[in-house]
Amino acid sequence: MVTSGVMKRLRVYIDTSVVGGCLDSEFQTESLALFDMVRNGSLVVVASTLLADELRLAPKAVQEILTRLPLEYVESAAVDMETIALRDAYLMAEVVGKAQSNDALHVALATVARVDMIVSWNFKHIVHFDKIRGFNAVNLREGYLPIEIRSPREII
């Protein structure tokens, strides 16, 4: 995107699968490339308090990945009443089941933060054609913009 002759950095929300993907042979190349894009200033990553909570359960090597990113290219998003209400709207619309409440909360956090896109390796509950349509239908009904949802492969 260009604003006043200056290229605007994409703001991407990442979920736990992207961070964990750095140590997974199937997803490692693309996950590491995405974080290289953050380090070189091509992307701004939006990390949520939910991501931080989920990473506390991950191996130490996974926990440390975000700490190596330049702070000027990392933004935070916090769980609040608005994100909880949007998550609940996704659950009520049965976009995902109650067992995937955190997945719905990731999408709500990204939507409320008005990121350019969500990046995830979760092909079952987030990066899935029917789920994307469902999340965006709820977003429009609730007065939010639609959100792009992609895998790291699609943006590196």
| pLDDT score of 8 | 84
Helix, coil or strand: residue 15: coil
Does 128 score more than 60 pLDDT? yes
156 assigned to some structural domain = no
* Cβ-based neighbour number of residue 143 at 10 Å: 7
* CA atoms of 7 and 3, how far apart (whole Å): 6
Tens digits of residue pLDDT in 43-53: 999 999 999 99
155 assigned to some structural domain = no
154 assigned to some structural domain = no
92 assigned to some structural domain = yes
| pLDDT score of 36 | 97
Task: State mean pLDDT over 112-126.
Answer: 98
* CA atoms of 21 and 16, how far apart (whole Å): 8
- Where in the sequence is the domain holding 113, given as residue range(s)? 2-148
Tens digits of residue pLDDT in 2-26: 555 667 899 999 999 999 999 999 9
32 confidence band (pLDDT: 50, 70, 90): very high
CATH assignment of the domain containing 135: 3.40.50.1010
CA 127 to chain centroid, in Å, comes to 10
153 assigned to some structural domain = no
The number of domains in the chain is 1
DSSP-assigned states of every residue in 102-151: HHHHHHHHHHHTT-SEEE---TTTTSSHHHHHHHHHHHHHTTPPP-EEE-
| pLDDT score of 2 | 52
129 assigned to some structural domain = yes
Task: State mean pLDDT over 96-121.
Answer: 98
66 assigned to some structural domain = yes
